[in-house]
Amino acid sequence: MLHQLPLRRLRELYLQGDASPVDVARSALDHAERANPALNAFALIDREGALAGARQSEERWRRGAPLGPLDGMPLAIKEFAAVRGWPTRRGSAVTSDEPAAAHTVFVQRLADAGAVLLGKTRAPEFNWKGVTDSPAFGLTRNPWNPALTPGGSSGGCAAAVAAGIVRVSMGSDAGGSVRIPAAFTGTIGLKPTHGRIPLSPVPSAFSNIVHTGPIAAGMDELEAAYLAARGASPLDWTSCLGADGAADAPAGRPRIGLLSPRRWGPRCAAPVRAAMDEALAALRADGMDVLEIDYDIEAASRVGQDLYRLGCAAAVRAVAPDLRGRLDPGLTAFVRGVDDWPISRYHAICQQRDQHANELARLFGQVDLLMLPTVPLCAFEAGRDVPPDQPGDDWMSWNPYTPAFNAAQVPALSYPVWPAGGALPAGVQWVAPKYREDRLLALGRWLEARFPVRTAAELE
């Protein structure tokens, strides 16, 4: 279908006058409306608004004056962010259905770059977990197998991309919420440096750990969305410029730090270990230097998990007491007792964060990038917070490798690898120092040449 063509090819067709952004938008909207009843990827599809934006893009291309690489590209937004004219429900029935009066900063930047906003994608209530479902709005499903979860909390974003409805969507990540669904759906997920992509209003519950980033079916789309959205804003005090962030390779070949397999191997399912082995073999076959690195990832992630739980508790506390009984019971169980934590515990968490983040910064004096699994497992049954073979009901128990990098505020990329003969993709995670998204973008292109991204549209 027309809307599934890569960004580079669409731009060629627009330039030649052989395709129109309106045709592409209609194709994507038709696909979204056809697929959404089974997937529940979209919370809202705005046909009228998307076509209006596409017509404006069409006129710019006719005049030979496109706004940039994203002009005329269909794009979806996770429902955590304000989009003018659309409600910001955040996966919850207790939030207002009033339309937002203005775009948040990064949405405005994407609109200014000519992106065609199709709609908002599903998330769990207040983005609280690594799968996507909510009592109010039901289950979101994985396009590769609708019996499985696409992960979360940006699961609707990932499902829309993996299904081939859009080539890129914008999600959020406070503990893995871009990287987990990217791993579960075979898409690429970028969590930039904290503050690299600004928000307004700043989500106070998660302000020190939340990152906004794209989920995409290709590096062209991911990079175009990231570069259009990034940059400091006076409307978000946490936002930053930092280094340039263009997709230039580091001087010479990057030094890869492989997290010691003793830190992750015993926990990982066979497909994840196989994906790591295949990625590692590709690095070595290309002559890259690989150095084994020891870093207590689970201890560092426990700090990120504690910060995440504090954020979820703050989100629940902001709900009127008479409405809290309507919240996801899993969410209220997840934060039970957090409000009783003494201030000394919070100070200890902050000290531990600083220790682990400093250790990570020192490691980046030895290597350019750190390599480890995104999560230790592949997608599991939709409707569950925890896989059936694991005890308990705490979703953080199966997510030991992503929260550390929210606490440290560094950029991380989840790139999909399909192990030979595997039925599902696995995610390999790559981490860079603060402000060095350029290293991740360059590596992503290297990976894309060796491990092309697949979408479930191939199954149709």
Of 20, 57, 78, 233, the active-site residue reads 78
Residue with tokens 């006129």: 59
| Residue of 134, 114, 115 lying closest to 125 (CA atoms) | 134
Q: What is the pLDDT of residue 307?
A: 97
What is the span of the domain harbouring residue 337? 1-460
| Structure token digits, residue 79 | 């429902």
Sort 391 into a burial class: Cβ within 10 Å, 0-12 / 13-18 / 19+.
exposed
Instruction: Using 50 as the pLDDT threshold, list the residues of the chain that sit under it.
Output: 245-250
Q: What is the pLDDT of residue 365?
A: 96
Of 153, 239, 301, 414, the active-site residue reads 153
| Residue of 192, 274, 225, 265 lying closest to 439 (CA atoms) | 192
Task: Tell me the whole-structure pTM to 2 decimals.
Answer: 0.97
Give dist(CA 327, CA 331) in Å, integer. Answer: 7
CA distances to 106, 107, 431, 448 from 77, in Å: 10, 8, 24, 24
Total structural domains within the chain: 1
Q: What is the pLDDT of residue 243?
A: 56
Residue ranges with strand state E in 40-115? 42-45, 74-78
Give dist(CA 444, CA 416) in Å, integer. Answer: 10
Query: Which residues 6+ apart lie within 8 Å of 133 measured at CB?
Result: 124, 139, 140, 149, 382, 383
The one-letter code for the residue type at 97 is D
Of 20, 57, 154, 177, the active-site residue reads 177
CATH number, domain of 362, equals 3.90.1300.10
CA distances to 101, 177, 242 from 239, in Å: 22, 19, 10
147 DSSP 8-state letter: T
Helix, strand, coil distribution of the chain in percent, nearest 5: 40, 15, 45
Give dist(CA 65, CA 58) in Å, integer. Answer: 10
Residue with tokens 């000519």: 114
Q: What is the pLDDT of residue 375?
A: 98
To the query of whether residue 129 is one of the catalytic residues in this protein, the response is no
To the query of whether residue 301 is one of the catalytic residues in this protein, the response is no
| Structure token digits, residue 357 | 């983040």
| Structure token digits, residue 276 | 């790591």
Q: What is the pLDDT of residue 459?
A: 67
* Cα R_g (the chain), whole angstroms: 20
| Structure token digits, residue 215 | 């989920």
| Residue of 91, 302, 311, 349 lying closest to 207 (CA atoms) | 311
Q: Under a CB-based contact definition with an 8 Å cutoff, are residues 221 and 175 in contact? A: no
